Structure 1
Amino acid sequence: MFKNLFKIKEREPKEITVVAPITGEIIPLEEVPDPVFAQKMMGEGVAVKPANGEVISPVDGEVKLVFQTKHAIIVEAENNAEILIHIGLDTVNLEGEGFTAHVKDGDIVKVGDKLMSFDIATIEEKATSSITPIIISNTDNVREVKNIKVTEVTAGENQILQVIN
C-alpha cells in the first residue's frame, strides 16, 4: 500500500530544439580559434561565422543575462537549458563598442525575437574573430545535447541543436 509513497518520480525528459540565432556558416566548436570554446570548457554547442549583425532568440524562454559589455547573452529555454550566445572572440575587450542590446535581463522571448545587433566590421577590425559560439552553458545539468548537421544557417529557420533535459 505504501511502497510507492517515498519513491521519487522520475520526470519525463523534455526536448527542445535550438534554432540558429545568427545567419551564417556553421563552424564545429572544435574548430573555434579559442581553446575555451574549442575544448568545450564552456559547454557543448556549435559556432557560426556570421553573415550579418542580427541576433535573434533561438528558443522560447527568458533572457537570464545580457552581459554588461553586450558581447554575450544567455537565454534560458523552457526546459531550463541555458543557451549562451557569445558574439565574436575576445569581444569583451570592446567594452560594448559595436553592440546594441534589444532586450534586458528577465524579458520573456519567443523564437525569432531580436536580442542583439552588432557591427561586424568593428568586430573584425578590433577583436580576434566574429565567429560566434552558441553553447549550452549548463551542459552538466542536461541529459543530452545533439548537434544537427547543417553547414549554412538562416537565423530563426534552421535547427542547430537538440537539448534533452
Structure 2
Amino acid sequence: MFGFLKGKKKGDKVFYSMVTGKSIDLSEVDDDMFAGRVLGDGIAVEPEEDTFVAPCTGTVTTVTDTKHAIGLENEDGVQVLIHIGLDTVKLNGKGFDTYVEAGQKVKAGDPLVKVDRKMLKEEGIPDVSMLVFVEPNGHKLSKFYTEQKVEAGTSALVEYE
C-alpha cells in the first residue's frame, strides 16, 4: 500500500521510521523545545506500536539512564536522537525496556526499546516520539515524509543529501 515509501536501496540517504504510526511535522508537537527545533530539525511519529527500531544502520551513541532517549550515528556521521514521548524523563525508566547499549552496532530495523504505551496513557503522558537531527555532519535534510502512515524500519521518514 505504501510502496513508494519502501524499497529504498542500500546506499540511499534515508532514515526510516523508528516506530509504526503516523508521521507529523515537528512543529505539531506540543512541546516548545521540539516544535521550535531547539535541538535540531526532525520529524515526529504518533506511535501505534510499542517497539522502537533503529532508523538507520550505524552505532548507538547514547542510551539515557531513563531509557526514553537513544542517540545514533549513521555511516555518514549523521547523528540523530530518538526521543520517546513528552516528559517521559520523569518516569526514570519505568515502562521502558532497552535492547541496546552505547557503542553497539545496529542495522535499520533492529529493535532498540520497547515502551509500555498503555502505562504512558494511564500516566497522562503523550507518546508522540521525535527523530531529531542533532548533528547533520554537513548533510542537508532534503525530504520529510509527514502526514503518512509509516512502518517501523521500512518506511522512509527523512531523506538527506
Into which bin does the TM-score normalised by the smaller protein fall? 0.7 to 0.9
Q: Partners of 1:66 and 1:105 in 2: how far apart?
A: 6
Q: Is residue 60 from structure 1 mapped to residue 95 from structure 2 by the alignment? A: no
Q: Partners of 2:143 and 2:123 in 1: how far apart?
A: 30
| Aligned residue in 1 for 2:35 | 38
| Aligned residue in 1 for 2:121 | 124
Is 1:47–1:133's contact at 8 Å kept on the other side of the alignment?
yes
Q: Could you tell me which runs of 5 or more consecutive residues in structure 1 were left unpaired when the two chains were aligned.
A: 1-13
Q: Residue 143 of structure 1 aligns to which amino acid in structure 2?
A: H
Q: Structure 1's 39 and 57: CA in aligned 2 closer, same or farther, altered over 3 A?
A: same
**CA displacement, residues 59-89 of structure 1 (integer Å, 9 cap, x when unaligned):** 0000000011000101100011111110000
Q: Residue 47 of structure 1 aligns to which amino acid in structure 2?
A: A
Query: How far did 1:45 drift?
Result: 0.9
**CA displacement, residues 110-137 of structure 1 (integer Å, 9 cap, x when unaligned):** 0111111010011222253100011111
Is 2:141–2:159's contact at 8 Å kept on the other side of the alignment?
yes
2:139 aligned to which of 140, 143, 146: 143
Alignment of 1:107-118 (within 5 A): 107-118=104-115
Is 1:142–1:163's contact at 8 Å kept on the other side of the alignment?
no
| Aligned residue in 2 for 1:5 | none
**CA displacement, residues 33-63 of structure 1 (integer Å, 9 cap, x when unaligned):** 0000000001111000000110111100000
Task: State the number of aligned residues.
Answer: 150
Q: Could you tell me which runs of 5 or more consecutive residues in structure 2 were left unpaired when the two chains were aligned.
A: 1-10
- TM-score, normalised relative to structure 1: 0.86
Q: Partners of 2:97 and 2:149 in 1: how far apart?
A: 25
| Aligned residue in 2 for 1:162 | 159
Is 1:102–1:114's contact at 8 Å kept on the other side of the alignment?
yes
Q: Rg larger in 1 or in 2?
A: 1
- TM-score, normalised relative to structure 2: 0.88
| Aligned residue in 2 for 1:25 | 22
Q: Partners of 1:69 and 1:127 in 2: how far apart?
A: 18
Structure 1 runs of 4+ aligned residues shifted over 3 Å read: none
Query: How far did 1:148 drift?
Result: 3.0
Query: How far did 1:162 drift?
Result: 1.4
